[in-house]
Amino acid sequence: MKGLLRDIEEETRLAAGYTGRETLNPRVLAAIVEVPRERFVPARLRHAAFDNAPLPIGEGQTISQPFMVALMTDLLDLAPDAVVLEIGTGSGYQAAVLSCLVHQVYSIERVPRLAADAAARLAELGYGNVAVREGDGYAGWPEHAPYDGIIVTAAAPHVPPPLVEQLKPGGRLVIPLGEPYFGQELRVLTRDEAGHVSTRHVLPVAFVPLVREGDVD
């Protein structure tokens, strides 16, 4: 775990030219230390759980790179009383990291098996403030809106309008934008009190695609 933290800190420094951050919030790094990533990866890959790399989790999906989880969490800049929405539960790892930092996490996953496994894993590990539901996250989760922060962990060709609508004034949406796998860019959208949205371009990234209803897998 010490090695993983060192790797995250090193990559944070290397990416500082893009992100403007030489270091990440110590609360975020403490959450990374607290969450047992080895419990979120397939048993046969447990030896690699503390590498700073994405890993396959089945169904053609991945658990994100720890640096990216830490950076996106840092960019959300959440207060302890925050309510957060995640699109793309995957393994549940990002949701677990968020759950250490905020009041409540809602997370949506479109692949039924991943949603069920993540919900069971999070419950077993005692992350009681995370609710997971199966579905298409493009539409958000209006019942619990508005959110202090929304994080999308799959790349979309454009920002889903329902997600912007479900942000609180002052809330942030962290999302990789772009076509599948290449040429994507991480962006942070901030909604101001008047409902205007400002966009910050952060850095080039590579995420699995956000899949829409009717898309062919």
For residues 17 and 214, which CB has a smaller minimum distance to ligand SAH in the complex? 214
And the tokens for 24?
Answer: 């990440």
Based on the shown chain and the rule CB under 6 A, indicate whether residue 71 belongs to the binding site for ligand SAH: no
Report the nearest approach of ligand SAH to the CB of residue 45 (Å). 13
And the tokens for 112?
Answer: 């039924």
Task: Identify the H or E element spanning 73.
Answer: helix 66-76
Strands 147-152 and 55-58: unpaired
Among the listed residues 12, 153, 166, 184, the single contact to ligand SAH using CB under 6 A: 153
Based on the shown chain and the rule CB under 6 A, indicate whether residue 31 belongs to the binding site for ligand SAH: no
Based on the shown chain and the rule CB under 6 A, indicate whether residue 62 belongs to the binding site for ligand SAH: yes
Helix (H, G, I), strand (E, B) or coil at 37: helix
Cα torsion 79, 138, 129, 4: sign: negative
Reference 175, options 194, 149, 196; nearest CA is 149
Among the listed residues 12, 64, 65, 99, the single contact to ligand SAH using CB under 6 A: 64
Beta bridge partners of 176: 186
| Residue 200 identity (one-letter amino acid) | R
And the tokens for 14?
Answer: 């290397």
For residues 139 and 203, which CB has a smaller minimum distance to ligand SAH in the complex? 139
Are 24 and 8 in contact by the 8 Å Cβ rule? The answer is yes
Among the listed residues 4, 105, 111, 174, the single contact to ligand SAH using CB under 6 A: 111
64, 91, 99, 107: which one is catalytic?
64
Q: Looking at residues 40 to 59 of the shown chain, list those that interact with ligand SAH (rule: CB under 6 A).
A: none
64: annotated active-site residue: yes
Contact residues toward ligand SAH (CB under 6 A) are 61-64, 87-88, 90-91, 93-94, 108-111, 114, 136-138, 153-154, 208, 210-212
Q: Which residues have a catalytic role annotated?
A: 64
